[in-house]
Each structure stands twice: as structure tokens, then as C-alpha cells.
Structure 1
């Protein structure tokens, strides 16, 4: 088994992944503590030319290691969620390969628009979206919006739902209900407001629109207000 496979298996264990956030200190302290623990357990006969640890340094290493790791865990759970400056908002295109996943960050929280693809060998939710939100120390999503029922836009939803509490689900009103979408998910049509700070308003599809082309019925959103606006068109041509 390769080192990458071992690391992947360990990270998949329940509660193995921590939202350490954008601060480097939890990781640095954990690495320092692990290094001290390794040195404390080292015997000169185990490794050629290993340094002999004796006296106070050798006796104190286990305490230093446990203290550093405890501090790392404490910092990991206390890192504040990454937020934009006051009166600003962020639109982050997460690299999920084929498909879309847009994270919208405002002063009060984050919303995810589409969740990228999933295949037998790749799940954008677990490989890209969950790590991104862990880095940003996001512990809850205000909403997840699925623009239309194509796997390259909805595939990562299950992994995201397993990792984070989600306040509300929205689905494009002209699209079939994606597999795995909760029954409580609301259908969105033109004119509906899906979020605030930044403001998210549906611009398409209009009520009653019907098409066999799922792309044509994709949920189109306008994000922001005033000069700072973006039109998020999903797969509408």
C-alpha cells in the first residue's frame, strides 16, 4: 500500500479530518509535536548514528509533544471562519475539473452553487469542496443550490452534506429533482431571492418553462448589488 493510499484511508476515518482553517499554526504545532514524540521514542540502536537524547531534554520531550499537539487541536477548533471584509463578498470557483462549483462568501456565511462531478474514481465533494471549506474554517453552509440535474453539477452534493450542516437546499425549478436531493429542497424560479449579503436572485427559468434540454432550464442567478454583481449562468447557452 502506498503512502498516499494510507493517508487517504486515514483521512476517511470518522472525525479524522479537522477544519484547521486558513491559519498555519494548528498544522505547524501538530507537526512540531509529532516530531518531538518521534524523537522521544527514538533509541540509538534503532537508527544508525541516531542522536542520544539524555538528561532534561530527553525527559521533557514527551511533555513538549503532548502540549504542542493539544495546542494544535485547540487552535483548530477555534480558528474563525474566513470572511470577506465588511461590505464585500467573495465568489470562489473551486477547481472540480469538468463541471461547476461556486462558493459565495459573505459577511454572515457561505453558500455553495453546484457541487461538481462524481464518478467511480473521483468525487469532487470529498476531493475538492470539503477540503476547501475546511481550509476556510467553514463549519456550516447557509445554502446549497443545484442549478440543474446533471451529474457534473450535482455529483459532490452527498459528500458535502455528510461533512457540513446545510441550512437550506434550492433546486432549479425547470429541472428534475437530482438524486439524493432532500425532500425539503425548494424549487427556484425567476424572481425568487435565494440569499442575502450578497443578494442572490434567480433570473431564469420563468415559471412554467418546460424543455427536454436540462441545460436550457438551468437556474441562472444574479449575485450582488450595485456595481459589484455577477451573472451565474450555469449551463444556459
Structure 2
């Protein structure tokens, strides 16, 4: 019996071969799906894996009952992207280790790797930040701008992940307003990556006003570039829509 922590990668068929073998041996297959906008449905994932996939609520994940369940049967816990990018998942493995529960880890590609598809060097990125939805936080938090400022101070690009359900136009409005409040000057153009790592991937490099007019689907992330190296700029101009 074992707990199998599995990264799905970025597309519906991106699971690794060894992880798929592990899934087939599991008595139950769980999916964490409350932290990200998936580029595919649970039904499509179930069909791809040829197994029934059970969606888990935040409460069910946080009470760690899935770990206890793996004492009695093989359990698969599926995570979009890479499976070790969140603190919660590290805690799962720590619990297994402490309580002598067998476990396996199957890592995969994440958005942190997919940013290289823009032509920007991964080595030139600073700290990753998250943008909360102001519809869920009425105090309109702007703290994510401090990360962009810090990155800019060391000539680094900034990757911004957005809350689940936050629409592109809203995220761009929040970015503009937050920069105004925090007195940070955005570059003339920023980058939006939609459906990274899938067949529907699109890369946009334009002004905020023009990006608001574009038809860009979820999931997406924002990149605030610092000064682009000429090689980065050339690649970006070729790869963008």
C-alpha cells in the first residue's frame, strides 16, 4: 500500500509513463482542483487515464484523511502541474515519512518551467507572486506589487499567478490600479501566456489596453518583464500572437 503524489503536467495527456502505471494500480484516484483553472475537464482527464477520478474539496485535502486511507490501499493524489510546488504537498510527504507510510512522488512540468516558452530566460526571473481576486478581498490588497518591485530592483522578470476564477480584464485592471497605488511604473508592454504547455497555448506581448481587447482564455498567467535581452526580445516577437 502507498500514497502516490502525482504531478499531471500542463496538458490532459502530460502524465508520465511511470505515474500512469502507478495510477492503474490504485484503489482510488483523487484530484485536487480548487487551486487552479484547468485547461481541460475532469471528464477528459478520467477518459485520458481510463480511471474514475474523484474531485477533492479543500477541507478534504487539508484534513489529510487521504494519507490515512493509503494505509489500507494504494491512493493516487493528482495535482495540476508539478506535485511539489505547494507547501501542502510537502507536508503530505513529511507526514508519510514520520508515520512510516509508503509513498511515491512523480514530478512533472509546471508553469514555472513553461515560462521559457515565451523566449524569456528562466534564469532572469525573480520571486513568483500571486494576485488575489478583489471580488473576494474587499480591501483590494496590493502586496503582490512588492514582489514585482523587488524583482525589478535586481533586473529580474516577474511571473504573476492569479486566483482561480479571476478574469483577464479584471486582473489587468487590478495590476494597473495596484501599480498606481504603489507608485510602480509598468513597462509599455507585458506578457500574457494562455493555456501554457497545451495545444491551445498562446503568447501575447502588448500594452494593457490592447490585451484587454484580446480574446484570451483561461488559464493564463501574467509576466511583467524587466529589460529584455535582445535575444529574449527577438524570440518573443516571433513566438507571440
TM-score range with shorter-chain normalisation? under 0.3
Structure ranking higher in helix proportion? 2
* TM-score under structure 2 length normalisation: 0.23
- Structure number with greater CO (CA < 8 Å, separation at least 6) is 2
